[in-house]
Homo-oligomer: A and B are copies of this chain.
Amino acid sequence: MKYPNSINKKENKQINYGHRGMSLEYDINESNTFYLLNDIAVIHKKPTPITIVDVDYPSRSEAVITKAYFKIASTTDYNGVYKGKYIDFEAKETKNIKGFPIINIHKHQIEHLILVSKHGGISFIIVRFTALNQTYLLTCEKLKYFLDHFTKTSIPIDYFKKNSYLIKDKFNPRVDYLSIIDSIYLKGEKNEKNNQKY
């Protein structure tokens, strides 16, 4: 969906919120639920990693964590199985309009994505430029290419436009990243369960 440059930001924002839900995470979770309920794929968000310090047991059946810290994730947020393939990705939003600051993804998460790809999994990142209302899927290969060849701390929007895939707005699934995965990696593979383009 493209807006003329003259449109005021407030209106744009209102349209985004009404149409697309709260956030990229929300949209991806909804999409994963759609994939699950329609028997297309089994992909889940991992729980937030924490270090538990203290736990109280006010009653026999109930445990309450009273002190814990957030840990830095050693892997990515999402993984699962699609047509027998291992799927692994990280999803990030940025308000930036010129590019995606690489610092938003931890170094060991990038290493994890590269390792997954090396072991035959399909790994990628999904980046939403909120101010542009554009969501891109960048494969691990293209991410690695950028990191190997450029010293920039931010991946320019132009790199996304030329080397990644725009995920078009849909009602359901909201962020249909698996149709992109189909077109990149699984051309010619037929889904035996139905004739939908998945």
Partner of A63, one of B69, B86, B88, B116: B69
CA distance A69 to B71 in the complex (A): 17
Contact with B along A85-129 (1 / 0, CB 8 A): 111100000000000000000000000100110111100000000
Q: Are B84 and A121 neighbours in the complex by a CB distance under 8 Å?
A: yes
Most buried by B among A68, A69, A121: A68
Cα distance A67–B64 in the bound complex, in angstroms:
7
Query: In the complex, how many angstroms separate the beta carbon of A112 from the nearest chain B beta carbon?
Result: 7
* Least CB separation from A70: chain B residue: B63
A residues 4-54 touching B (CB-CB < 8 Å): 36, 39, 41-42, 44, 46-50, 52
Residue A157, interface by CB 8 Å: no
- Least CB separation from A83: chain B residue: B120
Give how many copies assemble into the complex.
Answer: 2
Say yes or no: is A66 at the interface (Cβ < 8 Å to chain B): yes
Task: Determine whether A75 belongs to the interface, using a CB cutoff of 8 Å to chain B.
Answer: yes
CA distance A86 to B120 in the complex (A): 10
In contact, A47 and B44 (Cβ under 8 angstroms): no
How far, in angstroms, from A65 to B64 measured CA to CA in the complex?
11
Residues on B with C-beta less than 8 A from A120 are: 81, 83-85
A173 interfacial by beta-carbon distance below 8 Å? no
A112 to B80 CA separation, bound complex (whole angstroms): 11
Q: What 5 A-B pairs are tightest by C-beta distance, nearest first?
A: A84-B120, A81-B86, A47-B49, A81-B121, A65-B68
List residues of A whose CB falls within 8 A of some B CB. 36, 39, 41-42, 44, 46-50, 52, 62-71, 74-75, 79-88, 112, 115-116, 118-121
